[in-house]
């Protein structure tokens, strides 16, 4: 099988590439990125002969379609706002598609292509990272144990014990994180899609080594897609929240409250500059000496509903640690491995539905969780009877 990874020079793509190369049936992996030198560096660093590097500009959808046409699957690990562009290119090329997820408006734009994907006999799986992705499949696992569903609450938390030599090391794309800290989170409350203020948090206690965390509600597609997927079962309330490593969270919250999340240009010495772009440019110049990472991450999904007439809650959890052999921290590992799993399933014809879907609508929990377990990510399920 031949797979192309767009955004292949980025933080999240490294684990995806490593995981793809674990399978001898994968004959070629193209690392495609707008930053060609970075893509080349990644190919040379890994050193596998099945890797190739390619410059790609996904804003040119026809050119992108021409590049990806000969591949079995395109994995899009690039920025969320570019997901619709790559999805349209995949449609033009007639190639199966997987991404890490986009914001709700972009996801809606992708879903509008469902009939055209189905007509071409190809599949697009939207949001197949950690959250969205694993979180959606965990929600489905909880739903499968109930007769009706009222609430689905997704919480992700990280704890980082790594001693970094750099003042700011981001667990994933900083631009995405700033969006999560500045944009109004979308939730579903009493059956209505609504938005709330950013940076609202509450304490949640997890097992060691995570412990007590204070996740903040952030903008994510899961509340809307899960509501749409399960509203016929009675779903009325959905949320998504995340607790990034404490010290990192405090730094980003401080920068955001200072105004560095703004995209509106300001005058700096006679030059109009966006504070956000200035921050991103400075952070991109930081040197990151190689260190042994020690990070832990948990995803928990609480699904509340009824079973045989009784109120019940199903708690689905997965705890992940750093991949020592790749030196990839838990958060990035949990995000980067699922698109590799699903891309391989698509290439093998193991996902039968054709069209455009969130993962819970086209992937079965048992084979997916089996693949996660083979990679050291065991999903556990606990049922709590008579939950209010």
- What's the rounded mean pLDDT across residues 54-65? 97
Give the C-alpha separation, 124 to 293, whole Å.
Answer: 33
Task: Considering the chain, tell me which residue range(s) the CATH 3.40.50.720 domain(s) occupy.
Answer: 2-130+335-368
CA R_g for the chain: 20
Each residue's pLDDT tens digit, 144-154: 999 999 999 99
- What's the rounded mean pLDDT across residues 248-263? 94
The confidence score (pLDDT) of residue 171 equals 82
Give the C-alpha separation, 266 to 178, whole Å.
Answer: 18
Give yes or no for a contact between 191 and 234, defined as CB atoms under 8 angstroms apart.
no
State the pTM of this model. 0.90
Token pair 């079973």 is found at 307
The confidence score (pLDDT) of residue 102 equals 87
The confidence score (pLDDT) of residue 388 equals 54
Instruction: Work out the percent of the chain whose per-residue pLDDT is above 90.
Output: 84
- Top-tier CATH class for 2-130+335-368: alpha beta
Task: Considering the chain, tell me which residue range(s) the CATH 3.30.360.10 domain(s) occupy.
Answer: 134-332+377-385
Listed residue (95, 67, 98, 99) closest to 80, CA to CA: 99
The confidence score (pLDDT) of residue 387 equals 52
Provide the token pair at 219. 């903008």
**Chain mean position to CA 296:** 17
The confidence score (pLDDT) of residue 385 equals 67
**What DSSP letter does each residue of 68-83 carry, written as one string?**
HTT-SEEEE-S-GGGH
- Top-tier CATH class for 134-332+377-385: alpha beta
Give the C-alpha separation, 104 to 113, whole Å.
Answer: 15
pLDDT surpasses 70 at 386: no
Instruction: Work out the percent of the chain whose per-residue pLDDT is above 70.
Output: 99
The confidence score (pLDDT) of residue 91 equals 98
């Amino acid at each position: 099988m031949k797979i192309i990874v767009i955004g292949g020079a980025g933080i999240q793509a490294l684990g995806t590439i490593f995981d793809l190369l674990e399978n001898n049936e994968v004959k070629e992996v193209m690392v495609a990125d707008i930053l060609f030198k970075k893509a080349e560096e990644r190919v040379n660093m890994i050193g596998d002969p099945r890797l190739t590097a390619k410059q790609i500009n996904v804003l040119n959808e026809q050119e992108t379609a021409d590049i990806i046409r000969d591949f079995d699957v395109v994995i899009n690990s690039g920025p969320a706002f570019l997901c619709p562009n790559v999805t349209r290119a995949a449609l033009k090329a007639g190639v199966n598609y997987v991404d890490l997820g986009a914001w709700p408006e972009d996801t809606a734009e992708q879903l509008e292509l469902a009939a055209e994907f189905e007509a071409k006999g190809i599949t697009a799986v939207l949001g197949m990272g950690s959250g969205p992705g694993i979180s959606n499949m965990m929600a489905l696992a909880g739903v499968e144990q109930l007769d009706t569903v009222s609430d689905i609450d997704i919480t992700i938390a990280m704890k980082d014990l790594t001693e970094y030599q750099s003042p700011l090391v981001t667990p994933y794309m900083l631009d995405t994180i700033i969006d999560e800290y500045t944009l109004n989170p979308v939730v579903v409350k009493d059956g209505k899609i609504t938005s709330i203020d950013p940076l609202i948090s509450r304490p949640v206690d997890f097992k060691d080594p995570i412990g007590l965390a204070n996740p903040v509600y952030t903008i994510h597609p899961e509340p809307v897609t899960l509501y749409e997927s399960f509203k016929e079962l009675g779903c009325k309330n959905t949320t998504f929240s995340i607790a990034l490593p404490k010290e990192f969270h405090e730094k980003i919250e401080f920068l955001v409250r200072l105004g560095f999340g703004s995209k509106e240009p300001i005058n700096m010495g006679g030059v109009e500059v966006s504070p956000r772009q200035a921050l991103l440019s400075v952070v991109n110049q930081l040197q990151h000496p190689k260190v042994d990472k020690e990070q832990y991450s948990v995803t928990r999904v609480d699904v509340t509903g009824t079973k045989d007439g009784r109120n019940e809650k199903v708690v689905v959890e997965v705890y992940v640690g750093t991949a020592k052999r790749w030196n990839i921290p838990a958060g990035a590992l949990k995000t980067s491995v699922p698109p590799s799993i699903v891309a391989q399933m698509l290439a093998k014809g193991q996902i039968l539905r054709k069209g455009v879907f969130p993962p819970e609508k086209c992937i079965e929990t048992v084979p997916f969780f089996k693949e996660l377990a083979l990679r050291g990510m065991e999903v556990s399920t606990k049922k709590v009877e008579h939950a209010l």
